[in-house]
Amino acid sequence: MAGPQQKSQPMSSQNLFSIQGKVALVTGGSRGIGLMIARGYVESGARVYISSRTKEVCDQVAEELSENGSGTCISIPADIHSEQGIQELAGEIIGREKTLNILVNNAGANWAAKLEEYPDDGFNKVMTLNVKSMFVLTRELLPLLEKAATPDDPARVINIGSIDGITVPKVENYAYSASKAAVHHMTRVLAGQLGRRNITVNAIAPGPFESKMTKWMLDNLKEMIVATCPLGRIGKPEDMAGTAIYLASRAGAYVNGAIIPVDGGITTQ
Ligand SMILES: NC(=O)c1ccc[n+]([C@@H]2O[C@H](COP(=O)([O-])OP(=O)(O)OC[C@H]3O[C@@H](n4cnc5c(N)ncnc54)[C@H](OP(=O)(O)O)[C@@H]3O)[C@@H](O)[C@H]2O)c1
């Protein structure tokens, strides 16, 4: 016999995916995956800071996004491989904003070389930027994230990992794949700590998307890569922006510590 029927709670699905008026920082927002996310955020009405080392490009991209979106985009050039660069970037944001709703830790580097030739400095560069800088920037921006955080609308940290941190890659990118596995685990560790302070921490693990980083691979191996993808294609900007918007909106408020592959199913193979 069926039990007593539960009364359903009223729910407003209006504006469920809205990020209108939120303040975001996207590191590496000047091109590739960071740009896909920044564009999606600006078009959705957010105030978005983008950061990268090359000032002219960063400034130009911010101007173009501001012209074409309902939100605004502001450029803060910085090299976040160094502690000083991280402090400068965090200082700029803290100087300009009272709260930070969304931090997208996207800037990253790759290095591929044969095992015997894999350079120590390449290994260190990748590990520092992809893992340590992500941690330090998040730590430095915690006060601002915490000021934006409420139980109903937590502040969001979104780390960009990779499917190379989930499955064993075909290319010899030892430091990169290790760094991305570290990003995924650090995401879960931080989610456990920061969830209690109303800050969610999740990771997006992208499959192949067009960017400077993937240019050689997609120019030379695209057919093979597409053949391994159940959906039979590489990612589009909307695929990346959509997941990043979901995680930053009310729709994603209860997601914490998740590693979301956005890869057309490549990691199922
Ligand atoms: N594209 C893919 O298919 C794919 C797949 C899986 C994961 N990912 C991840 O997605 C993220 C973005 O990659 P992408 O493919 O878009 O690469 P990308 O085209 O090389 O873009 C990297 C971005 O980071 C910036 N950047 C690099 N080093 C920096 C530093 N030291 N300080 C500040 N900014 C720096 C770059 O600008 P400047 O050079 O001007 O500094 C650029 O804006 C990375 O974490 C990558 O591992 C990408």
**223 class by beta-carbon count within 10 Å (0-12 exposed, 13-18 middle, 19+ buried):** exposed
Q: Evaluate whether residue 204 is within a structural domain.
A: yes
CATH code: domain of residue 255: 3.40.50.720
In the annotation, is 49 catalytic? no
Find the DSSP H helices in 13-132: 32-43, 55-68, 83-96, 120-127
Element (H, E) at 186: helix 174-194
Q: Evaluate whether residue 16 is within a structural domain.
A: no
Q: Evaluate whether residue 4 is within a structural domain.
A: no
Q: Evaluate whether residue 36 is within a structural domain.
A: yes
Closest CA to 97 of 141, 159, 60, 38: 141
Give me the pLDDT at residue 7, please: 67
Q: How far is CA 132 from CA 10, 43, 128, 222, in A?
A: 43, 31, 5, 31
Residue 211 Cβ < 6 Å to ligand 1:
yes
How many distinct helices (H) and strands (E) make up the chain?
A: 8, 7
Element (H, E) at 102: strand 102-105
Q: Evaluate whether residue 6 is within a structural domain.
A: no
Q: 3-state DSSP call for residue 38? A: helix
Which of 80, 87, 211 maximizes ligand 1 atoms within 8 Å of its Cβ, making it the mutation to test the pocket?
211
Query: pLDDT in tens for each of the 269 residues of the chain?
Result: 445 566 677 778 889 999 999 999 999 999 999 999 999 999 999 999 999 999 999 999 999 999 988 999 999 999 999 999 999 999 999 999 999 999 999 999 999 999 999 999 999 999 999 999 999 999 999 999 999 999 999 999 999 999 999 999 989 999 999 999 999 999 999 999 999 999 999 999 999 999 999 999 999 999 999 999 999 999 999 999 999 999 999 999 999 999 999 999 999 99
Q: Evaluate whether residue 33 is within a structural domain.
A: yes
Residue 107 Cβ < 6 Å to ligand 1:
yes
Q: Evaluate whether residue 40 is within a structural domain.
A: yes
Structure tokens given for 21: 């008026």
Give me the domain span that covers residue 229: 23-268
Q: What is the pLDDT of residues 27-50, one digit of tens each?
A: 999 999 999 999 999 999 999 999
Ligand 1 centroid vs 11 CA: distance in angstroms? 38
Give me the pLDDT at residue 6, please: 62
Q: What is the pLDDT of residues 67-99, one digit of tens each?
A: 988 999 999 999 999 999 999 999 999 999 999
Residue 59 Cβ < 6 Å to ligand 1:
no
Ligand 1 centroid vs 28 CA: distance in angstroms? 6
Beta carbons of 195 and 189 less than 8 angstroms apart: no
Structural domain total, the chain = 1
Q: Evaluate whether residue 196 is within a structural domain.
A: yes
How far is it, in rounded angstroms, from Cα 206 to Cα 225? 13
The ligand 1 atom nearest the CA atom of 160: 45
Which of 53, 111, 127, 259 maximizes ligand 1 atoms within 8 Å of its Cβ, making it the mutation to test the pocket?
53
189-210 burial string, b = 16+ CB within 10 Å, else e?
A: ebbeebeeebbbbbbbbbbbbb
